[in-house]
Amino acid sequence: MLRRTGFTLIELLVVISIIALLIGILLPALGMARKTARQMQSSTQVRGIHNALVTFAQGNKSYYPGLNSDGALEAGGLYAPPHNYERLLLAGFFPGEYAISPVDVKATWTSGTVSTQNFSYSMLSIQQTAEQAEWQDTINTDAIVLSDRGIGTSHVTALSVWTGDPSEGWRGSVGWNDNHVSFEPARDSPTTAYGSDPVNDNDHLFGDNHPDLGDAFMVYGGPGPAIGDVLAAD
């Protein structure tokens, strides 16, 4: 009597079905794990850039790049994250790839002039007194100094590199001045406070809440439909 050593067609189909079912269950979980890992990496990079700001400030009377040791705006420091990144990168405070989000497509800076093609994270605008007061090592738990950049045609329709559908809005990593980092689900979700003027409280990350432009917001300032350009012109 011959002993059967192979699979029947039905057995093979059952095995294939089970494998397909397992793949269907595991793929979403793997995708979520990958997304969470990227969010953690982004938050680590934001914290690292803030560490660089603090280290820079130790040799600049507590002020971050863009302000001189007297707390006044440097030439090019107005609405100018490229200027501020250039000061940090040229001095070797962190490598070029550290300024690029794990979900963004940018050119890694190695030398020369820094442009918006070399970094992913927006910085606090420092054109107003309140922002200048926080653009230093204040350890303010309610002041945001860095965030994932905003993209889109205006602050009203703000998107980020983490979102592609306008219905999703903006979400991303946010770095606070006490060096903690949060991953915020929307541009208006953080509760903020800058300086002692209440007009600067509870600001949207990329929006002007107040008609006098006295509020604080993140500026990217990239070419084309970038939120930094829109806000700088408001």
The per-residue pLDDT string of the chain (234 residues; one tens digit each, 9 = 90 and over) reads: 555 566 677 777 888 888 887 877 777 766 677 888 888 999 999 999 999 999 999 999 999 998 989 888 887 666 678 889 999 999 999 999 999 999 888 999 999 999 889 999 999 887 666 667 789 998 889 889 999 988 766 666 678 888 767 777 888 999 999 999 999 888 888 888 887 666 666 777 876 555 445 567 788 866 433 444 333 333
According to the model, what pLDDT value does residue 197 have? Answer: 64
According to the model, what pLDDT value does residue 175 have? Answer: 95
| Helix, strand and coil in the chain, % to nearest 5 | 35, 10, 50
According to the model, what pLDDT value does residue 226 have? Answer: 40
According to the model, what pLDDT value does residue 156 have? Answer: 64
Contacts of residue 29, Cβ cutoff 8 Å, sequence gap at least 6: none
Residue ranges of the alpha helices (H) in 91-189?
129-134
According to the model, what pLDDT value does residue 234 have? Answer: 30
Phi then psi dihedrals of residue 63, to 5 deg: -90, 145
pTM over 0.95: no
Nearest to 205 by CA among 125, 138, 100, 114: 125
Q: How far apart are CA 122 and CA 118, in angstroms?
A: 12
3-state secondary structure of 116: helix
According to the model, what pLDDT value does residue 99 have? Answer: 95
Contacts of residue 20, Cβ cutoff 8 Å, sequence gap at least 6: none
